[in-house]
């Protein structure tokens, strides 16, 4: 069970389904779908940077913690809604990490 006080925000993940062809060879346009929400806690950046795999330093605006957030890839779109129902932030993933106690997403 997730503690609502610890994880009172919600993150929604956008998945892009690539364009495909039907049986007759006609193109079917790509579509975007937004996931059901995952409980999380969003915190603004206090001035830190993250180091990417190539060694470059990237400034991030938010870090999101959660237990059930699925694996995300850099560039994937997400939207975070606060406990009061207002949109906190909408951006693309800069980095994703699975820790011992939670998963972290840098936006």
- Domains of the chain with CATH codes: 9-106 (2.40.10)
Which pLDDT score, from 0 to 100, does residue 38 have?
93
pTM given for the model:
0.80
Match 């779908």 to its residue by tokens. Answer: 33
| pLDDT > 90: percent of the chain | 58
- Tens digits of residue pLDDT in 55-75: 889 889 999 999 999 999 999
Supply the pLDDT for residue 5. Answer: 67
How far apart (Å, rounded) are the C-alpha atoms in residues 66 and 4? 11
Q: What is the pLDDT of residue 2?
A: 53
Residue 3: predicted pLDDT: 58
- Per-residue pLDDT tens digits for 82-95: 999 999 999 999 99
Say yes or no to pLDDT of 31 above 90: no
CB proximity list for 89: less than 8 A, separation 6 or greater: 42, 61, 62, 79, 80, 107
């Amino acid at each position: 069970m997730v503690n609502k006080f610890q994880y009172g925000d919600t993150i929604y993940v956008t998945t892009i389904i690539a364009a495909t062809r039907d049986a007759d060879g006609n193109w079917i346009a790509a579509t975007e779908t937004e996931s059901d929400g995952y409980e999380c806690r969003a915190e603004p950046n206090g001035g830190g940077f993250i180091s990417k795999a190539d060694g470059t330093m990237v400034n991030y605006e938010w870090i999101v913690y959660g237990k059930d957030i699925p694996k995300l890839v850099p560039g994937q779109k997400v939207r975070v809604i606060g406990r009061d129902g207002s949109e906190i932030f909408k951006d693309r993933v800069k980095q994703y990490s699975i820790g011992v106690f939670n998963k972290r997403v840098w936006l």
